Structure 1
Amino acid sequence: MDMTDTAIDSAVRGYLDHLSVERGLAPNTLASYRRDLRRYGDFLRRRELREPREIGEEHVAAFVRSLREGDGERAGLVASSAARAVVAVRGFHRFLLREGLTETDAAVTVRPPTPPRRLPKAIPLADVERLLGAASTGDGPRALRDRALLELLYGSGARISEAVGLDCDDLDPETGTVLLRGKGGKDRIVPLGSYAREAVDAYLIRARPALVATGRGGPALFLNARGGRLSRQSAWSVLRAAAGRAGLSTTVTPHTLRHSFATHLIEGGADVRVVQELLGHASVTTTQVYTLVTVDQLREVYVAAHPRARSSTPS
């Protein structure tokens, strides 16, 4: 197979540059686009297509089918991953048309597969408290850091990338808030509860100075053992270790704490639009899925408690 660079490859690089510079996509999102478009480029190359103008609707449609079914070179993807790849391809073809590299949009009629709607996986408050209680074992710098990290994740609903990206100056002790830098460069200010504030204060006073001393210093809030910024992977490890010590039977991820943050707010009576702002969702529709969790729980209580919720079984 000819692995030389093609005009399509060059156009893909131009589109990725556009997403990075002009659209300001987050690094993780940009990496997903790069992977999906590399798969698309490989698909087109195997069909000996080299120029953007050679790509027709039939090629895009065949690629979309291959995403779910596989194509002999790669296995098929789950619906959510296939949908993400289709979004990348549609954006790429809009870019080709806008830049004058094609005369038509070959992907204009393509629709991504609809992923199954999944309710967020939250854990009960009692499990959250067990998890946070198991976050730190002792008063060493790393133990205090781990407790502060997990308290902040649950106390603010932050994404893991937002938490490890925090600098000390993003905390406002006067107002008890934290500045989170969300997807697409969208910042938001979120209040921290007393437990999270106390854990973060303990870390800043009793632990962070010791961690700073092992490195070159810097603005990062959460530091690793070498004094550098804590990575997403290390933060995941902190959470897994705490979940193991807490003996939780369910799989717990950083997003589990984010989902639990939102679900517990909704259950406590918070308005869905307030939760939308706290989570940094662009659309309230995304946030409304948390109300479905509460409705399901209400339905279970209703069926169990109401005398005429279920028909009686004839004797």
Structure 2
Amino acid sequence: MLNDDANRYITLRRTLGYKLVKAERHLHAFARFATERNETHVRATSVLAWLATVARTPGARERRLTDLILFARFLHAEDPLHEIPRADVARSRHGRPIPYIYTPSEITRILDAAGKARRYRNDRLRRPLYVMLFGLIAATGLRVSEALALRLDDIQPGGVLHIRETKFRKSRLVPLHVTVIEALERYLDVRSQHAGESDWLFPSVEHRKLCPTTVNNMFRSILRRAGIALERHPRPRIHDLRHTFATRALEQCGAQRGMVARHFVALSTYLGHADIRNTYWYLEATPEMMADIASAAEMLVGESAV
């Protein structure tokens, strides 16, 4: 019965744009566990017992618990006999990782280091590829997965990228700045000489889709070569280029309420966020931004008191 309920829940949420690949596995695994205990409803004690058998780390327990809480809320609305587990029973002490916000000079050093990366005899595209890849992410805030999934026909006329059904099954158009368009054109000229018949914008040596692990290893090597945040733990990530883009964009929105609102909506759409609350998180990224928001809040309080 719980297995059928899980299928209904997954189907409904996918119509809203969620992929729920891992959540589907978690819910069906719990449904099997509950069925073996002859239970037809979600029980908080069973949730805890299941988590203890399948999740080895606090992070894994928290992710599975979150999936089960949402599922239980869905069922509880139909039948109060379903119990909703407490959200704090498996909460990890470690919150969302603090992003590393790159300075403009650090991004320049990253691209310079990528342009001087070790060159292999059979990979003449290595240097220009990584310069373009990291530069594109820094200039557009694309997710790494979105950049690696780009194909040649995703480059639209007028310097627009077509980002196809990525996270939350959302597609969107990403316009490029003129400087990015010029850099992309130079890269495509070089790429045409070494990429064979591959239609991936950033192909591997074998002309297939570039592996994320390979890219992450390359980025860590480039950070060391560029001497960026060598003492920081955890180390900065490629994804922090996306955080940096969002942070710098929000820093330019000023303190006027109308401007902030328009900036938020535009940025949320540009980044491909399914919920604007995901965009709010970037407000915490820099002290300068928090100071501006504090000043704006004081102005609003003053206006309301008049």
The TM-score with structure 2 as length reference comes to: 0.72
The offset of 1:262, in angstroms, is 0.8
Could you tell me which residue of structure 2 aligns to residue 268 of structure 1?
252
Q: Contact 2:168 / 2:274 at 8 angstroms: preserved in 1? A: no
The offset of 1:156, in angstroms, is 0.9
Q: CA RMSD in A?
A: 3.7
Which 5+ residue runs of structure 2 have no aligned equivalent? 255-262, 295-306
Match of 1:294, as an amino acid?
T
Q: Contact 1:266 / 1:294 at 8 angstroms: preserved in 2? A: no
The offset of 1:159, in angstroms, is 0.7
Deviates more, 1:272-281 or 1:160-169: 272-281
Q: How is 1:1-315 mapped onto 2 (pairs within 5 angstroms)?
A: 11=4, 14=7, 18=11, 22=15, 25-26=18-19, 29-30=20-21, 32-34=22-24, 36-37=26-27, 40=30, 44=34, 48-50=36-38, 53=40, 55-60=42-47, 62-63=48-49, 67=51, 71=52, 74-78=55-59, 81-93=60-72, 106-107=82-83, 109-113=84-88, 116=95, 119-137=98-116, 140-174=124-158, 176-181=159-164, 182-211=166-195, 213=196, 217-248=197-228, 249=230, 250=232, 251-269=235-253, 271-295=263-287, 299=291
Match of 1:171, as an amino acid?
I
Distance in 1 (alpha carbons) for counterparts of 2:143 and 2:112 = 21
Match of 2:56, as an amino acid?
A
Distance in 1 (alpha carbons) for counterparts of 2:250 and 2:269 = 13
Distance in 1 (alpha carbons) for counterparts of 2:192 and 2:87 = 46
**Percent identity of the aligned residues?**
25
The offset of 1:268, in angstroms, is 3.4
The offset of 1:171, in angstroms, is 1.4
Matched residue pairs, number?
271
The TM-score with structure 1 as length reference comes to: 0.70
The offset of 1:13, in angstroms, is 8.0
Change (3 A) 1:50 1:220: farther
Deviations, residues 74-94 of structure 1 (Å, cap 9, x unaligned): 53413xx44431232245456
Q: Contact 1:164 / 1:229 at 8 angstroms: preserved in 2? A: yes
Q: Contact 2:76 / 2:82 at 8 angstroms: preserved in 1? A: no
The offset of 1:58, in angstroms, is 3.4
Q: Give 3-state SS (helix, strand or coil) of 2:101's partner.
A: coil
Match of 1:49, as an amino acid?
R
Distance in 1 (alpha carbons) for counterparts of 2:286 and 2:54 = 43
Distance in 1 (alpha carbons) for counterparts of 2:163 and 2:245 = 15
The offset of 1:145, in angstroms, is 1.1
Deviations, residues 160-200 of structure 1 (Å, cap 9, x unaligned): 111111121221242x2212234222122222234432332
Which 5+ residue runs of structure 1 have no aligned equivalent? 1-6, 303-315
Deviations, residues 114-153 of structure 1 (Å, cap 9, x unaligned): 6746543322222111112212227931211111111111
